[in-house]
Amino acid sequence: MNCSFSTAAVIGGAGAVGSLFVKSLAGSGVQRVISLDPQNELEDSGGLEERLHADVTALEGEAAKALEAADLVVLALPHDVALQCVADLSAALKPGALLVDTLSVKSEYVSILSRLDVPIELLSINPMFGPDLGFTDQSVAVVEVSGGSRATNFLAMIESWGSSLVHLTAEEHDRATAATQAATHAALLGYALALTGMGCDLSSLSAIASPPHRTLLALVARIAAADPEVYREIQLRNPYASDAREKLKQGLSRLERALASDSSESFSDCIEDIRGTLGGEQAPLAKLCSRIFQALE
């Protein structure tokens, strides 16, 4: 596709998410891609992008000039930092520029955006995958705040990278990710902490570890290898995450009651309710699970 952006700045470009956008934008024909990050050295990268040492809370000098020249600015920042700086950043952009964030929680941030009086386009996205996987065959959640031609072109660019777009409101996004992220991560963390509390020696268990056990451990290992703050933000900042964790506790309590009743019917009722929740997704998900287990071998 023809690229409509001549200059793009990625704030937080040295991080995992920021680096993915820097690479993807540079590969899509953006003439100038600038990574702004305090981790960057004061030198050109020698690659497709420029690297500038920059503190997002106090942009000045070459970093400020780069921001003012950008048609597209991508914020790949922690939640609290983005909330702190978005008003000043948006005011510094040239009219018609597009400001995009990649936050995992939208409600509070989008509320701030909706109150800004700036002549720019505002788009909030959430890549629903780890940046090491890349965009191909992945989904990206999209909350449009104040769109326009540049927002449309940017979303078309994401589709050209192989991702599918899911358009939501900020509330719909946070309610959905409370289930897909907050509850999922909490269940995995709780499982891992249970193993820790049991004093499990995983190396001694490996000989008899079942495929479900190894699959869950693989998911736990992925979380353990990442930045803890990413997962903390999802649990702490999503307004529906606390309720999701409460439902997890209620689920375990129901299981305990079903077993304490010494009634096979009570346990069967739990399974039937789970089947009802899975609905038409049960059969394809079971096949997916079989493929995952086969891959483990």
Domain ranges across the chain = 7-168, 172-296
Q: Considering only residues 252 and 61, tell me which one the structure prediction assigns the higher pLDDT.
A: 252
Confidence of residue 44 (pLDDT cuts 50, 70, 90): very low
Q: How confident is the model at residue 55 (pLDDT cuts 50, 70, 90)?
A: confident
Share of the chain above pLDDT 70, in %: 96
So what's the pLDDT on residue 3? 65
Q: Tell me the per-residue pLDDT of 224-280, one tens digit each, with 9 for 90 and over.
A: 999 999 999 999 999 999 999 999 999 999 999 999 998 899 999 999 999 999 999
Whole-prediction pTM? 0.90
Phi-psi region of 78 (alpha: psi -120 to 50; beta: other; left: phi over 0): beta
**Residue 187, both tokens:** 């269940």
Q: Is the predicted pLDDT of residue 98 greater than 70, yes or no?
A: yes
Upper half-sphere CA count for residue 105 (Cβ side, 13 Å): 21
Residue 178 near residue 234, CB atoms below 8 Å: no
> What is the average pLDDT across 24-37?
92
Superfamily for domain range 7-168? NAD(P)-binding Rossmann-like Domain (3.40.50.720)
Chain centroid to CA 28: how far? 22
| Rounded Cα gap, residues 56 and 77, in angstroms | 9
Question: What distance in Å separates the CA atoms of residue 223 and residue 221, rounded to the nearest whole number?
Answer: 5
Q: What is the DSSP string of 61-126?
A: HHHHHHHHH-SEEEE---HHHHHHHHHHHHHHSPTT-EEEE--S--HHHHHHHHT---SSEEEEEE
C-alpha span between 5 and 244 (Å, rounded) = 40
CA 122 to chain CA centroid, Å, is 18
Mean residue pLDDT across the chain: 92
Q: Alpha-carbon dihedral of residues 147, 149, 154, 155, nearest 10 degrees?
A: 60
Confidence of residue 48 (pLDDT cuts 50, 70, 90): low
The percentage of residues in the chain with a pLDDT greater than 90, rounded to a whole number, is 79
